[in-house]
């Protein structure tokens, strides 16, 4: 039973990563269900995913422009939305793609990557 649960977990993670990579490479707006910090952090987010990689703490993270949603920092009024957010991939519970593409380069976007990441898996191309 444990082996089956581990296998299911691995399959779901792989599908999520493929969906995230596809959304970054195709610059698709996506909905994610995120298990974020309380208060206000758990729930659905509407994001423009631009970079997937490993941060300095060793976590696989997605850097995205969050348009709207259940943002912990937005809830605390520390960083209003829309704005840049980092999402730990392990805390993304679901990904739903939309047909909407984004092409606007948001303020603070670095086309060379992200200084908070030690390695980059995929980065959106706006050229």
Say what the pLDDT of residue 87 is: 93
Say what the pLDDT of residue 113 is: 74
Say what the pLDDT of residue 10 is: 47
Write b or e for each residue in 46-71: b if 16 or more Cβ atoms lie within 10 A of its Cβ, otherwise e: bbbbbbbbebeeeebbbbbbbeebbb
- Residues of the chain below pLDDT 50: 4, 7-11
Say what the pLDDT of residue 11 is: 44
The full set of domain ranges for the chain reads 2-101+117-123
> Long-range CB contacts (< 8 A, 24+ apart) of 73-78?
74/40, 75/39, 75/40, 75/41, 76/39, 76/40
The residues with which 123 forms a beta bridge, in sequence order, are 51
Q: pTM score, two decimals?
A: 0.80
Q: Which phi and psi (to 5°) does residue 109 adopt?
A: -70, 135
* CB neighbour class for 72 (10 Å; exposed up to 12, middle 13-18, buried from 19): middle
Say what the pLDDT of residue 123 is: 94
């Amino acid at each position: 039973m444990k082996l089956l649960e581990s296998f299911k977990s691995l399959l779901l993670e792989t599908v999520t990563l493929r969906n995230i990579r596809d959304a970054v490479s195709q610059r698709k707006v996506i909905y994610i269900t995120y298990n974020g910090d309380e208060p206000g952090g758990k729930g659905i987010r509407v994001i423009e995913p631009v970079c997937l990689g490993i941060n300095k703490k060793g976590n696989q993270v997605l850097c995205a422009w969050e348009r709207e949603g259940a943002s912990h920092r937005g809830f605390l009024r520390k960083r209003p939305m829309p704005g840049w957010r980092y999402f730990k991939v392990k805390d993304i519970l679901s990904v739903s793609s939309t047909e909407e593409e984004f092409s606007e380069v948001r303020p603070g976007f670095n086309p060379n990557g992200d200084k908070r990441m030690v390695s980059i898996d995929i980065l959106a191309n706006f050229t």
